[in-house]
């Protein structure tokens, strides 16, 4: 069992994920009591976590850094909570707390579910607003437009949503969550079924990306962000740790080139920390890795090599521009 973003696995059963998130939304009209307001909210997102990594990427692509502050827990957590062990004194400098659990308990002293990241906290009260990671990034695109940088890309184009939503749903069920279904399967039968579903989906994605640069065509969208955070962790942890080992990402020519293309695009690669990723999975998941030993490999130097995807054309940011380099 792990509390990483609501992960639950009981030996002898198929892996299931607790998806009962806090669904309060921060919106332009404030209909849930939380209006869009620069400086009021703090995003807590661990670089190690793929679900949190999405929010870091989208925040950067849209230029919301000045509107929404970012707190980063360390790569590991105990059974109760992620902790701010990367900050001086182990305390988040804005919220003044040592554990994300404190913000959840401020929201509900009897909060019954997993203490997950990403999460948005209302700085004025110290209480959690939402941990609904899938909605958070969509709201960054659609509700926070007043604070988007000039040239911010449209990551959730209205004219593509009817096609895009099913693509993202399949990426979630078969790939993002599919690797976890393999890793935390409680029986051989559950693992075999999860493994088959994962590779059917990866083959489908390879075919889709063979003739177009991005999942929805010529420009990056939210769908690419969601797939990227799984692909970038694939060889480092999922191939071995989660037994997703038909092929390494580096042995899948189309997906490997696609992932490198995104990694080298401003807003993506600089959000990735392979050391934190490996430390998280191999140290926290003691049910899968009792020793807590973090492997030295694999060699991850290839992420900056030429990918050749430019030959497919496309404009990564559509009518927009790349985010400015990090300071």
Dihedral angle, C-alpha 155, 161, 167, 169, nearest 10 °: 90
Catalytic residue among 180, 191, 195, 282: 180
Q: Angle 253-263/222-233 helices, nearest 10 degrees?
A: 110
Unique residue bearing structure tokens 């899948």: 252
Examine the residue annotation and report whether 180 is marked as an active-site residue of this protein: yes
Catalytic residue among 49, 133, 147, 282: 49
Residue 172 near residue 226, CB atoms below 8 Å: yes
Give the three-state DSSP class for 83. Answer: strand
Distance of CA 110 to the CA centre of its chain: 27
Examine the residue annotation and report whether 172 is marked as an active-site residue of this protein: no
Q: Is 82 annotated as a binding residue?
A: yes
Residues 6+ apart with CB under 8 A from 31: 25
Where does residue 22 fall: left (phi above 0), alpha (psi -120 to 50 degrees), or beta otherwise? beta
Give the three-state DSSP class for 325. Answer: coil
For 16-71, the DSSP string reads EE---------BTT-TTS-B--TTTEEEE--TT-HHHHHHHHHHHHHT-TTTSEEE
Residues 6+ apart with CB under 8 A from 11: 186
Q: Which positions are catalytic?
A: 49, 180
Residues at the annotated binding site for glutathione?
82
């Amino acid at each position: 069992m792990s509390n990483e973003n609501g992960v639950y696995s009981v030996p002898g059963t198929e892996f299931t994920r607790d998806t009962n998130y806090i669904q309060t939304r921060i919106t332009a009209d404030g209909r849930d009591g939380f209006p869009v307001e620069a400086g009021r909210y703090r995003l807590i997102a661990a670089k190690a976590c793929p679900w949190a990594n999405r929010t870091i990427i989208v925040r950067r692509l849209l230029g919301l850094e000045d509107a929404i502050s970012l707190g980063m827990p360390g790569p590991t957590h105990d059974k109760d909570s992620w902790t701010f062990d990367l900050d001086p004194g182990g305390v988040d400098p804005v919220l003044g707390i040592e554990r994300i659990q404190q913000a959840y308990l401020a929201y509900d002293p009897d909060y019954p579910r997993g203490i997950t990241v990403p999460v948005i906290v209302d700085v004025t009260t110290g209480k959690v607003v939402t941990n609904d990671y899938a909605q958070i990034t969509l709201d960054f695109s659609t509700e926070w437009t007043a604070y988007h940088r000039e040239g911010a890309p449209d990551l959730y184009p209205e004219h593509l949503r009817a096609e895009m939503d099913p693509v993202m749903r399949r990426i979630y069920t078969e790939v993002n969550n599919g690797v976890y279904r393999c890793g935390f399967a409680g029986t051989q039968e559950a693992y075999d079924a999860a493994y088959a579903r994962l590779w059917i989906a990866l083959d489908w994605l390879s075919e889709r990306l063979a003739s177009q640069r991005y999942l929805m065509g010529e420009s990056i969208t939210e769908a690419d962000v969601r797939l990227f955070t799984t692909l970038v962790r694939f060889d480092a942890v999922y191939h071995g740790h989660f037994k997703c080992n038909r092929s390494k990402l580096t042995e899948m020519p189309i997906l490997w080139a696609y992932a490198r293309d995104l990694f080298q695009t401003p807003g993506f690669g600089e959000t990735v920390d392979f050391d934190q990723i490996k430390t998280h999975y191999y140290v926290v998941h003691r049910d899968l890795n009792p020793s807590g030993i973090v492997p030295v490999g694999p060699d991850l130097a290839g992420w900056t090599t030429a990918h050749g995807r430019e030959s497919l054309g496309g404009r990564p940011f559509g009518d927009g521009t790349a985010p400015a380099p990090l300071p």
